[in-house]
Amino acid sequence: MSNLAILPILLPLLTGIMLVFINKQKTLVKVITGIMVFVNLAVVSWIGSVVFQEGPLVLEAGDWPAPFGIVIVADQLAMVLVITTNLIAVASAFYAFRSLDEQRERYYFYALFQLLIAGVSGAFLTGDLFNLFVFFEVLLMASYGLIVLGGTKEQLRESLKYILINLFSSILFVTTVAFLYSVVGTVNMAQLAERVADVEQQGILTTIAILLFLVFATKGALFPLYFWLPRSYSAPPTVISALFGALLTKVGVYSILRVFSLIFIYKLEFTHQFFIYMAGFTILFGVIGALSTNNVKLIVAYNIIPAVGFMMAGIGVFSATALAGTIYYLVHDMIIKAALFFLVGTMAAISGTYDLRKMGGLIKHHPLLGWMFFIAALALAGLPPFSGFIGKFLLLKGAVEEDHYGIVAVGLIGSLLILLSIIKIFLNGFWGEARLAPEQEKASENGRLFPVALLLIFTIALGLGAEFFYPGIQGIADSLVDPSIYIDAVIKE
Amino acid sequence: MELLMAILAGLLFSTGVYMLLQKQILRIIIGTALLSHGAHLLIITMGKLNRGGPPILSEGVTKYVDPLPQALILTSIVISFGVTSFLLVLAYRAYQKNGTDNMEKLRGNNHE
């Protein structure tokens, strides 16, 4: 039964390897990708339901007991994120069928895509710090392949920077693992948590904690370390940007959430206070970036940053309510970022430009696209019927309860500015004088709206069906506040 | 012994960071190689440099060196090897396509 925990990693990995061999038959590759993303989604949903009914599944690789072997821990938090990842994979695969040029499809796009999903799922599920590093590298290597795929001038230029910053932070990650190993003598997360608790997180451990935080903050694009993100995320084709924007930074956030709710929780007044300041600056600077540009894709890419800031604020406040808000917002943000990238990609495909000043009047001939974008914009800003509202509400409620009024103010102002930045696309791109050439007026969306519709249905469901989803999320948050649940599940005496 | 190795790793880190901040792509890649050497050296040092037999079970040996850091390093070496080779090919392509290996000239706002 516990072998189920490996399936979310194994299925995409095997599919990816298989796709490398049959790469020549393009139709077959698409059919297999199309089937496998659905199979994956079904399998992880099933595992998710098992986990929610019977508690975490812990797989000890090779039957070595917990601290000695590698463990794969499928707990509720990891499964929620894996299910969301696979949902985005379904939408991305179908968007790729409709939007990607033949050249890119021929050079192993679908294989790299499956390996990326395998890496992301692995990073969510692993229970071992060095194994987390390896899964980071799996997903990063796949993302390096994807970001240069096609080899345009701009992609080559921006991918150099992307790879260099990620290589540097990976080296820092290895160094930090070495430090941690020298202090506590283990790399298993549950045992790390036990041993850090035994020595009550002395000074050296807090230093290591902050180093580890800087590694994940670079991956997750927090305030002083986000400079690499916007341009490198807007260089590759839309479907790749969407995958990156939805999945990669969120792995960084998840790692911070896991490490700082399980292992380093004994100097809250220092570490978590520090997170709140970082979160505030991240929200403000990200939103200023989003307001500063007229490139539609760059606006969405900049909007990734304040969202990460909101999640960090929740982790910084560290109460059950705020953590529930963070998890809700994390799931919502993965879905909505993918949807927004798809929508601006479709806008750009129709009007032939990413420049907002050259667009206008799209709504007259493409009303469905327009109203879908409107819904996505409202969901992003966090208006009540949609999913963004509940996450933000819980987050800010948690912050008020713990008397962090500063971050509440920053969060509310940030939300307003996010709405301004995204509605700017709607006002200038969809309203205004029509600037479409006659053939562009008749241009169809080419089936690209189906994957977006799938994602938007889920944002609406997450918002309207909050009664249904909330108890589960609250349960996860409660178990995050008490790390002994995780430790007891992994290390059985 | 650990102190000596720590100083050496520190030297590798500082040289690596200095090289990362250069303008030429090739120097930057040499910087990343130096940094990963520093990191690997640090892992072996952090596992304590006790004297003992190599970690292969053999008769008559009672004390072995710590096998875990060696496994970690081996993993990390092949990963950084893969990334470095990718980066070298990418630098070559970027040089061909953009016509420069100067990072200062590899910027721009001409978006699409």
Nearest Cβ partner for B39 among A153, A174, A181: A174
- Residues of A within 8 A of B38 (CB-CB) are 171, 175
Chain A residues in contact with B78 by the CB 8 A cut-off are none
| Tally of CB atoms within 10 A around B49 | 14
Phi, psi of B102 (to 5 degrees): -100, 120
Helix boundaries (H) for A292-383: 296-317, 320-351, 362-365, 367-381
Q: Which residue of A has its CA nearest to B112?
A: A354
Determine contact: A340 vs chain B, CB below 8 A.
Answer: no
Of the candidates A349, A378, A308, the one whose C-alpha atom is nearest the C-alpha of residue A449 is A349
Q: Which two tokens stand for residue A354?
A: 């990413």
Partners of residue A151 in chain B, C-beta under 8 Å? 93, 97
pLDDT, tens only, B57-102:
888 888 899 999 999 999 999 999 999 999 999 999 999 988 888 8
- pLDDT tens for A111-165 read 999 999 999 999 999 999 999 999 999 999 999 999 999 888 889 988 999 999 9
**Percent over 90 (pLDDT), chain A:** 72
The whole-number average pLDDT for the span A460-488 is: 91
* Structure token digits, residue A203: 């000074």
Residue A186 CA to residue A333 CA, distance in Å, equals 34
Beta carbons of A160 and B93 less than 8 Å apart: no
Using the predicted structure, report yes or no on whether residue B48 has a pLDDT greater than 90.
no
Q: Which of B36, B46, B107 sits opposite A178 (nearest CB)?
A: B46
Q: With 80 as the cut, is the pLDDT of residue B8 above it?
A: yes
- Burial (0-12, 13-18, 19+ Cβ within 10 Å), A215: buried
A chain contacts of residue B43, beta-carbon cutoff 8 Å = 174-175, 177-178, 181
Domain boundaries, chain B: 2-55+63-107
**Contact residues on chain B for A164, CB-CB shorter than 8 A:** 20, 28, 32, 87
pLDDT of A295 > 80? The answer is: yes
Report, as an integer, the average pLDDT of A284-290. Answer: 93
Please tell me if residue B22 touches chain A, with a CB cutoff of 8 Å. Answer: no
Q: pLDDT value at position A434?
A: 77
pLDDT band at B112 (very low <50, low <70, confident <90, very high): very low
Q: What 8-state DSSP symbol labels residue A358?
A: G
Q: Which of A294, A452, A293 is nearest to A366 (CA)?
A: A452
What torsion, rounded to 10 degrees, do the Cα atoms A113, A449, A249, A61 define?
-40
> How far, in Å, CA of B48 to CA of B42, rounded?
10
- Distance to chain A for B65, nearest Cα, Å: 14
Test A164 with B20 for CB contact under 8 angstroms.
yes
In one-letter notation, the amino acid at residue A126 is: T
How many angstroms separate the CA atoms of A432 and A426, rounded? Answer: 10
Distance CA A348, CA A429 (A): 10
pLDDT at B111: 46
Q: Which amino acid is at A145?
A: G
- Please tell me which residue, A438 or A459, carries the higher pLDDT value: A459
- pLDDT at res. A446: 73
Q: Confirm or reject contact between A295 and chain B (CB < 8 A).
A: yes
Average pLDDT of A299-320? 94
Of residues B48 and A166, more confidence is placed in: A166
Q: Which residue of B has its CA nearest to A145?
A: B86
pLDDT score of B110: 54
- pLDDT > 70 in chain B, percent: 96
- Sorting pLDDT into bands at 50, 70 and 90, what band is A493? low
Q: Is the pLDDT of residue A471 over 80?
A: yes
- CA distance to partner chain B, nearest, from residue A232 (Å): 11
| Whether residue B40 has pLDDT greater than 50 | yes
Mean pLDDT along residues A279-300? 93
| Fold of the CATH domain B2-55+63-107 | Helix Hairpins (1.10.287)
Facing residue for B106 by CB, picked from A160, A168, A178: A160
pLDDT in the model for residue A183: 92
The answer to whether B46 contacts A182, with C-beta atoms less than 8 Å apart, is yes
pLDDT given for residue B109 in this prediction: 58
| Residue A196 confidence (pLDDT) above 50 | yes
Looking at this predicted complex, what is its ipTM? 0.94
With both helix axes pointing from N to C terminus, report the angle between A449-464 and A76-99 in degrees, rounded to the nearest 10: 150
User: What average pLDDT does range A62-73 have in this prediction?
Assistant: 89
Q: Which residue has the higher pLDDT, A175 or A1?
A: A175
For range B10-31, the mean pLDDT: 95
The number of helices, as runs of H, and strands, as runs of E, in chain A is: 23, 2
- So what's the pLDDT on residue A325? 94
Segment holding A73, helix H or strand E: strand A71-74
Residue A387: what pLDDT? 87
pLDDT at residue A269, as a whole number: 86
CA B81 to chain centre: 9
Do the Cβ atoms of B55 and B70 come closer than 8 Å?
Answer: yes
pLDDT in tens, A376-433: 999 999 888 888 899 999 999 999 999 999 999 999 999 999 999 999 999 988 888 7
Torsion angle in degrees (nearest 10) through CA of A469, A475, A480, A485: -140
Report the percentage of chain A scoring pLDDT > 70: 99
Q: CB-based contact (8 Å) between B109 and chain A?
A: no
User: Residue B20: closest CA among chain A residues belongs to which residue?
Assistant: A164
Percent of chain B with pLDDT over 90: 62
pTM of the model: 0.94
Whether A154 and chain B come into contact, CB under 8 Å, resolves to yes
A163-177, A244-258, A352-366, A469-483: range with lowest mean pLDDT: A352-366
Q: Which of A53-57, A90-94, A234-238 has the highest mean pLDDT?
A: A90-94
The DSSP call for residue A61 is G
Q: Is the pLDDT of residue B26 over 70?
A: yes
- Cα dihedral: A108, A109, A110, A114 (round 10): 100
pLDDT of residue A13: 96
**CB contact, 8 Å: B69 with chain A?**
yes
Task: Work out the average pLDDT over A424-449.
Answer: 80
Token pair recorded at residue A489: 């599940």
pLDDT over 90 at B52, yes or no: no
